[in-house]
Amino acid sequence: MLSNPPYYKVGDGRISQGDECALARHELAADPDSVIEAAAYAVKNRGTVVCIYPAERLATVTAAMMKKRLVPKRIQPVYSYPEDDRARLVMIEAKKNGGEGLLLLPPLYIYQCPNGPYSPELEAMYAG
pLDDT per residue rounded down to tens, the chain (128 residues):
555 555 565 556 566 566 665 555 555 556 778 888 989 999 999 999 998 888 988 999 999 999 999 999 999 999 999 999 999 999 999 999 999 999 999 999 999 999 999 999 999 988 97
3-state DSSP call for residue 56? Answer: helix
pLDDT at position 59:
95
pLDDT of the residue at 32: 74
Measured from the Cβ of residue 16, the count of other Cβ atoms closer than 10 Å reads 13
Domains and CATH numbers, the chain: 2-127 (3.40.50.150)
pLDDT at residue number 107: 98
The confidence score (pLDDT) of residue 35 equals 83
Query: What local confidence, expressed as pLDDT, does residue 33 receive?
Result: 81
Nearest alpha carbon to residue 39 among 75, 101, 103, 93: 93
Helix (H, G, I), strand (E, B) or coil at 41: helix
